[in-house]
Amino acid sequence: MQLKVTTWNINSVRLRLDKVGRALDEISPDVLCLQETKCPEDCFPLSALQQFGYPHVVQVGQKGYNGVAILSRFPFESVEPRRWCEREDARHLSVVLGSEAGAAAGIAIHNFYVPAGGDVPDPALNGKFEHKLRFLAEMRRWAGQRDRRPTVLVGDLNVAPLEHDVWSHKQLLKVVSHTPVETEALESLRQEGRFVDGARHLVPEPTKIYTWWSYRSPDWATANKGRRLDHVWASEDLAGTLRAVDVHGCARGWPQPSDHAPVTATLVL
């Protein structure tokens, strides 16, 4: 069977509910993982999302910030929200697909929203950057001890790890999201968790891959000063099932878009 998993930082699920519907219609994933839903749990548009054909929806959220959600065609065997850095800030949610998922049954899907880290890449001067590094360190410890079931990890990890994951490696080495301390932390996390970077597994460097383009650019498509902040990783036992990882850059050009594009992994199980 084919399993399609899409990740998307939606930057407010209520503001862009119609964009979610359009993406689901055009991409038709089996599972959609959203980040930065910016929605308290009691205001989450559950029924509207279910009407798009995804009856199984779980989420954690808070007012105005963060928040993650998972929409699925298949029911879940289990659901687990998790606190990170001793904060209740709605940055992670995982599910295990149930028996109705056929060959995909038992696969764990982890949806992460890593802190952006502010503007100053110095943890002594910037508490947001310090929080980001602590979050990545805690993820690293988790990855080394995680349940070794087949796993797909997705989300806005807010790090562009490789030279060709940014529009200018040299100019961004001192810019948050591409500093060596961040990229080294993310690579250690990936290796210790025994994950394969889906996009780079299928499309190695030096091909440029971007998933995010700043709102600050008046003509983002022409400038094309992007970064690959959104990721799909697969546990090593699923690496051979990866057939495609597609960035749906057209969504960045929709009216009132998120600054992130959806990214979809296709696995054949």
CA distance 222 to 253: 12
116 to each of 99, 121, 160, 252, how far by Cα in Å?
36, 11, 11, 19
166 to each of 96, 105, 212, how far by Cα in Å?
33, 36, 10
pLDDT in tens, 177-235: 999 999 999 999 999 999 999 999 999 999 999 999 999 988 999 999 999 999 999 99
Per cent of the chain over pLDDT 90 is 99
What residues contact residue 157 under an 8 Å CB cut-off, 6+ apart?
112, 114, 186, 229, 230, 231
Residue 57 reports pLDDT greater than 90: yes
What pLDDT is stored for residue 205 in this prediction?
98
The CATH class of 2-268 is alpha beta
The domain ranges of the chain are 2-268
CA distance 106 to 238: 12
Q: Are strands 31-35 and 2-9 parallel, antiparallel or unpaired?
A: parallel
At 180, the amino acid letter reads P
- Please, where are the H alpha helices in the chain? 17-27, 46-50, 127-145, 169-172, 180-192, 198-202, 220-223
- Whole-model pTM: value is 0.98
What residues contact residue 196 under an 8 Å CB cut-off, 6+ apart?
233, 234, 235, 236, 238, 239, 242
Sign of CA dihedral 23, 24, 30, 31: positive
Beta bridge partner(s), residue 69: 34, 59
